[in-house]
Chain A
Amino acid sequence: MTQTQPRGDSPRYPSKASDAGEVRSARAAAFASLITFALVLAAYLVLGFVAPPRESRSLSRPSVSPETLVHGAPIVYLGSSTARENTRRSGDMRDLAQLLATDLGLDESQVALIAVPGFQPLVYRAVVESFATLAQRPRLAIVPIEMRVFSVPWGGHPGLQHREIIAALQGTADSRVDRALAALHLTPRRELTDWFLFAPTRVASMGGPPVPIANRPSMAFGDYQRMLLADPPASPERLELQFRAHYLHPLEEDHPLLNALIDIERLGAELGVTIVYELGPLNYQDLVRYTGEDATQMNRNVGIVTEALRRNGARYIIDSLRLIPADEFSDQMWSCEHLTPTGRVRRARAVADFLRQHSLL
């Protein structure tokens, strides 16, 4: 601590005007400053109408708002990359929402897909929360559950993109003020803003805690990442390690991501949105083939999830976990849930059948 007094200075102002003329002059200067300020802002406003800014919402935060995501559709399908168009880039390129709409005989605009890369219940909770701001809320939300999300290398570290999406959904994106500003063409101008947007770049993959492998020694995070990113074909040993890491850890009942899924049910009840959970398909045949009897841990984990959801009011849970045979998974070198076009059609049909059977349309 300092001995001498770090006293704040009084604000320093220009010398005081001493006679009436100077007072008038000072007042005129203050008035001129304010008028100029107002005129420049007005000119900017006029410029907005004369030369509207280019679309530039894709700044450092993604432009995510419930309106742009849902478009007033009565059915919303939340999902990850597995719900988007097929990753083989050939054959049927429709996403799960389009396939579901077709199965249900609905116009494609009636089923909206909200899919972010990487499955993340925290994002879906934020999305469902944001339904509260919609004038026309969806009637039904389908929430897939990809069981790998509860594993350490997957679920514990929502990526920056997820944090940004959540922040955008909870923040001011498309708030009333935003809408008012947009109506005045006061949206950000890319020509002004591009220079100010820069983010640091990584030179190596992200780090993380050691990755536990069920019934096997843990792996260093970097080793695990390298194993995932290694060129195909994957050896049976590698696939076994991946299956063990992703699915076979005993799930704790108070896992934060399970709580996020439970919150979605509660939010849905509050907002009048029916929540339908879908235990997303995983390559169960290969899981059993590579991990043997240890695969039963997966069933115990699923039991914990469904029990927790039902205990908290969930009425609709589609079990598509074992729906898809091994050859309909598109990524054979990873324990991954991406499906071939045939598998995607099968998955969408199971959802459609469930909705029809339970008269949820």
Chain B
Amino acid sequence: VSFATIEFLVFFATVLAVYRLVPAEAWRVRKAWLLLASLAFYASWHVLYTFLLLYSICFDFVAARWLPKVSQRLRPWLLLFSLLGNLGLLVFFKYGGFVYDNVTATGLIPASQATGDFLHGLLLPLGISFYTFHSISYIVDVYRGQRQPCLNFVDYALYVSFFPQLMSGPILRAWEFLPQLEMPQRFQSERFRAGFARVGIGLAKKVLFADVLAAYADPVFADPTGYSPLTAMVALYAYAFQIYFDFSGYCDMALGLAGMLDLRLVENFKWPYLASSITDYWRRWHMSLSRWLRDYVYIPLGGSREGRGSTYVNLMATMLVGGLWHGANWNFVIWGGLHGVFLAVERALGVRDAPTEPGARIARIALTFHLVVFAFLFFRIQSWAIGQSYLATLAGPWHGLSASDWKAIFLIVIAFLLHVADQGGRLRNWFANSPPLFQGAAVAAAVIMMLNLRNLHQPFVYFQF
């Protein structure tokens, strides 16, 4: 199911060829084909869990259809029922073991080896955090009267399961995607070419940066002992760029693939390592998640409407939910908590906006970046013991850099320069408009490198969430 594999490229070439062979006027057939392809894509990972995805789709499709029809008194209950249906799945599969461990640790219920083994042994359905959030946003929007329920099952099913965004987003709002399905989307050469270029960019990000940096950082995070503090530090920066190039590379490919199929997804990144504050960072990093959290957690909690203290509490609660969304582990809670603290402190100090003076602005960008990197340490560690070991390694006796460290630093610097150079989409747009011969050859070169570096290939980081 990874985009950066030869199997997926063959799959996509087939989907695209059939899609293009169907006349644009037969829009329903095209949509049905895309839905079929999306379900096949998911089933290629796990057939049984495809039924779980279908269940989720059917459940919310029906619930949303019912919402406007029931009495005002019953509507909140129907919403609650739907939310429990969605969140119940998520909690059961993703947080069951975590909740069980923590509840049994308090002694409220006796621990059972069999129950613990069962809950920990559950295979997490890929993309469940994403498609559940799709569904929740849709049902809440219908409940709030912000949009009408979708009447076409294929459209709704495609909204939830469209394969470019099924596994790791971006998290779409129904009003961003469903209207595109209501009328035939015509082929636009520019959009197709831009999509093709975007796929190449995403693939290069994944293959040339994310996977290579992961091969460097992974051993250090697996067991930090014995490494020099400098190596541990380089590995931390390597991870920061690994996760950015991995996730943004995935999103580039998702947007590009959708574009080649005449559809649009939303942007998920906006050069986050150039943010001048943590507040700004969350306007640039995983934007579709942060706006989801804002609209469905932060604002319903009261947002900033009820005084300073309440605002800080809401910020912290929202970021803790955001942390926990990433995984059933305390390290994600700590990571979310750290960001909550950063946001609250920024708000308290009134330093959320970027300074105008260039020197101060650069200093703020540097500070923000290093806070983000530091927080990533807690995001990445597998256990608290490893975290302690990592911190001890960072404080250990000094050693010089090895040739491997220098190579990693070189790649990180290149990654950062590309990040800066692309600000405002300059590189991306330049590549989308570059001469066709150059563009085609460059994308082919990315595929060739994918073939050559496939032994380093790892699943996209956000697939695990």
Contacts and interface: CB of A to CB of B under 8 A. Distances in A.
Interface of A: 1-17, 23, 26-41, 44, 57, 59-61, 157, 160, 163, 172, 177, 181, 186, 188-189, 192-193, 195-208
Contacts of B399: 203
Given A1-B297, A157-B223, A201-B404, 20 more contacts: A1-B314, A1-B318, A5-B291, A6-B287, A11-B267, A14-B193, A33-B197, A36-B441, A37-B196, A38-B444, A59-B456, A60-B455, A61-B455, A172-B457, A177-B7, A199-B219, A200-B405, A202-B226, A205-B226, A206-B223
B91 to A, nearest CB: 22
A30 B189 contact: yes
B452 A189 contact: yes
Interface stretch (B33-41, B74-82, B227-235): B227-235
Contacts of B234: 200
B215 A197 contact: yes
Given A8-B170, A30-B189, A2 B447 contact: no
B46 interface: no
Contact of B453 (A13, A160, A188): A188
Interface residues of B, number: 88
B388 to A, nearest CB: 11
Nearest to A35: B440
Interface string B341-372: 00100000000000000000000000000000
Among A2, A39, A61, A208, the most chain B Cβ lie within 10 Å of the Cβ of A2
Interface of B: 5-7, 170, 176, 188-194, 196-198, 208, 212, 215-216, 219-220, 222-223, 225-228, 231, 234-235, 255, 259, 264-268, 270, 279, 282-284, 287-288, 290-291, 293-294, 297-298, 303-304, 314-315, 318-319, 343, 389, 399, 402-405, 407-408, 425, 428-429, 432-433, 436-437, 439-441, 443-445, 447-449, 451-457
A198 B196 contact: no
A345 B45 CA distance: 48
Contact of B226 (A14, A40, A186, A203): A203
A26 B314 CA distance: 49
24 contacts: A1-B319, A8-B291, A10-B267, A17-B190, A28-B436, A33-B440, A34-B440, A35-B440, A36-B437, A36-B441, A37-B441, A37-B444, A37-B447, A39-B440, A39-B444, A40-B444, A60-B456, A172-B457, A186-B451, A188-B455, A197-B215, A201-B402, A203-B228, A207-B389
A9 B402 contact: no
Given A11-B267, A36-B439, A203-B228, A4 B283 contact: yes
B285 to A, nearest CB: 9
Contacts of B222: 160, 163
Nearest to B289: A6
A348 B297 CA distance: 67
Nearest to B428: A12
B140 to A, nearest CB: 17
Contacts of B208: 196
Nearest to A193: B452
Among A32, A35, A41, the most chain B Cβ lie within 10 Å of the Cβ of A41
B441 A181 contact: no
